[in-house]
Chain A
Amino acid sequence: GNSVTQMEGPVTLSEEAFLTINCTYTATGYPSLFWYVQYPGEGLQLLLKATKADDKGSNKGFEATYRKETTSFHLEKGSVQVSDSAVYFCALSQGGSGGSNYKLTFGKGTLLTVNP
């Protein structure tokens, strides 16, 4: 079955540091890949997505590239801010002819804390 493995945290960085959170996946076919973010006290929200190989998703200075050859979708940001402190989840889904009804398979989440 499908699975997602992401870097375990917690990750603690100083403001303006470079961020990488690693994510790799196992799936048959061509899943869509997502990063979701959960800010303290808030619900889960989509940060970015990529639906095919070599696509780059980007939002709020974050980006991730769908690498089929390495089955990876690593999240990066060049300069983090205190407001980026949150839990980040990597996820995949498949649907249509690929089955799975677009249900999401999540990694365990990575807690990021950014200090001023």
Chain B
Amino acid sequence: GAGVSQSPSNKVTEKGKDVELRCDPISGHTALYWYRQRLGQGLEFLIYFQGNSAPDKSGLPSDRFSAERTGESVSTLTIQRTQQEDSAVYLCASRANNEQFFGPGTRLTVL
């Protein structure tokens, strides 16, 4: 079947605006993760979903970041009042057994 998809692939926004990033996991994968890849800083874990609940939100950097998942499928990561330091590639992954499958990412640029 299809892999993990993310939209948009690129997003340019102005500082202070809100953005929503979408992830469609592989069908049937109940575990879903969001990561952030900032330039020169590697990948950082943001949040983990099991089904529609998020038992681990420990990586969210501030209360401007939130995420939800509905129908054990699509997940949306929302960043409110974006700041320049939020510029990064946001990656979504879904898991089967002990392997995570990554989407192509959304490149967010905050001007």
Chain A positions near chain B (C-beta within 8 angstroms) = 32, 36, 42-46, 49, 51, 89, 91, 93, 95, 101-109
Contacts and interface: CB of A to CB of B under 8 A. Distances in A.
Query: Is the contact region of chain B dominated by helix, strand, or loop, or is it mixed?
Result: strand
Nearest to A106: B43
A78 B93 CA distance: 31
Contacts of B103: 43
Interface of B: 31, 33, 35, 40-45, 48, 50, 55-56, 59, 91, 93, 95, 98-105
Query: Is the contact region of chain A dominated by helix, strand, or loop, or is it mixed?
Result: strand
Contacts of B99: 46, 49
B55 A104 contact: no
Nearest to A46: B99
Contact of A103 (B56, B91, B105): B56
A93 to B, nearest CB: 7
A7 B94 CA distance: 27
Nearest to A94: B98
A86 to B, nearest CB: 14
A101 B95 CA distance: 11
Contacts of B102: 36, 43-45
Given A89-B42, A95-B98, A109-B42, A104 B104 contact: no
Q: Which 5 A-B pairs have the closest CB atoms?
A: A108-B42, A106-B43, A44-B102, A43-B104, A103-B45
Contact of B55 (A36, A101, A105): A101
A103 B35 CA distance: 10
A104 B102 CA distance: 12
A101 B35 contact: no
Nearest to B49: A101
Contacts of A102: 31, 95, 98, 100
Contact of B33 (A36, A49, A104, A109): A104
A93 B98 contact: yes
Contacts of B105: 43-44
A101 B104 contact: no
